[in-house]
Amino acid sequence: MLYARHKLDKAGQALIGTDPFLRNAALPVIQAWRETHFFVLQELGRQLLALFREKGLAYDFFSMRIKRMTSIEAKLRNNKEKGTKLGGMQDIGGIRFVFETIDSLDSAVSVLDGFVPDGFSVVRSYNYVAEPKESGYRSVHYVYKFNSEDERYDGNSIELQVRTKMQHAWAMAVETASLISQTTLKADIKDNSEWRGFFKLVSALFARDEGKPVYKTFAHYTQKMFCTEYFDYERHNLVDQLKALRVTVNSDFDKADRGYCVLTIDFNSKIVHTQTFGENQEKEAASLFSQIEQAINRDEAALMVAIENMLEIKEAYPSYFLNTQRFLAFLSDFEQQCKVLLNSE
């Protein structure tokens, strides 16, 4: 790696510490290390695309991203008791493939379970579809470590996520609610917030629809129990809050080629700004992203992603456009089913 693990751990401690001078000194270290993941991302992404083509596995879309500084900070804070440190974080770089159906996802998982990319070692895998997290999160993860003679990249880990469009819609709705409520709903924090309970319930609905296991809390639920609890959450107007979200997008999405995109969203004005870069403009995109991250306030958020087709970015990252239409469409159908069921009794 670009820096020894103890130096990264020290920088991570400074990032969440109270000394502003130590934090400012740590930021360039973290940014430089974070940027070394781009090369490894591209290499793993190339091999995965080739694998899926060879096996005839059709995916809906894929994207690659570098973890936001605010997300790094939140993960270090929220998992401090677990001993999570910066040098051990394995999802600084992430690749995501989204599949149309649960059957196509299952086919991809069966291939990936026996796949070892050239130049990488498989660190571990997690199947949160077969066994959902308590939060309701469902996806399949693989962590790969890069082995290289170039010390800048050697040891860098990349996390691969594969999921269905339904699982993606749920995860992006959680991200949207987290952004607008300025909370970390997807973190493993035990509380009784309405948002958290609502998303746990909906996750179980989605899992049932896909014919997959639900979290154990809901294993005994009947359709009536799901309906009754869902309408209890409706009293908090959570769905209405998601329906009311609208943003203005200032973008240059006229490009249809592969490349990088830096997005910022202002939650007060509900305005999204984007700037796209060509496939060979990684350094320019990374430089702008770092500048924006240092300048934004708590009412704003920034993201840098690499994507195959710029026109698909709204589908790959709908949370940054406060778009929960796919999520809401499923709930609308479920509500109608519940009304028929409850009115028939």
**Are the C-beta atoms of 104 and 23 separated by less than 8 Å?**
no
Give backbone dihedrals phi and psi of 227, rounded to 5 degrees, phi first: -65, -45
Residue 188, pLDDT above cutoff 50: no
The strand pairing partners of 142, in sequence order, are: 125, 160
- Stated pTM of the model: 0.88
Q: What b-and-e string marks burial along 68-84, b requiring 16 or more CB atoms within 10 Å of the CB?
A: bbbbbbbbbebeeeeee
Cα separation, 41 vs 95, whole angstroms: 7
Supply the pLDDT for residue 72: 94
298 versus 263: the higher-pLDDT residue is 263
Question: Above pLDDT 70, what percent of the chain?
Answer: 94
Using the predicted structure, report yes or no on whether residue 311 has a pLDDT greater than 90.
no
What pLDDT digit, counting tens, does each position of 17-42 carry? 999 999 999 999 999 999 999 999 99
Sign of CA dihedral 286, 28, 88, 83: negative
CB-based contacts of 225-232 (< 8 A; 24+ apart in sequence): 226/201, 226/338, 227/337, 227/338, 227/341, 227/342, 229/201, 230/201, 230/202, 230/205, 230/334, 230/335, 230/338, 231/338
Reported as type and span, the H/E element at residue 238 is: helix 238-243
The more confident residue out of 320 and 86 is: 86
Residue corresponding to tokens 């994207």:
63
Q: Kindly state the helix (H) or strand (E) to which residue 40 belongs, with its residue range.
A: helix 37-55
Which pLDDT band holds residue 250 (cuts at 50, 70, 90)?
confident
* pLDDT above 70 for 255: no
Q: What is 5-245+324-343's CATH superfamily? A: Beta Polymerase, domain 2 (3.30.460.10)
Q: What is the pLDDT of residue 343?
A: 80
**Beta-sheet strands, E only, within the chain:** 61-66, 93-99, 120-127, 140-146, 157-164, 248-250, 259-266, 271-278, 300-307
- What average pLDDT does range 148-175 have in this prediction? 94
Residue-wise pLDDT for 52-103, tens only, equals 999 999 999 999 999 999 889 989 998 888 889 999 999 999 999 999 999 9
| Domain ranges, ordered by start, for the chain | 5-245+324-343, 246-323
pLDDT of residue 182: 62
**Bridge partners, 262 (sequence order):** 275, 304
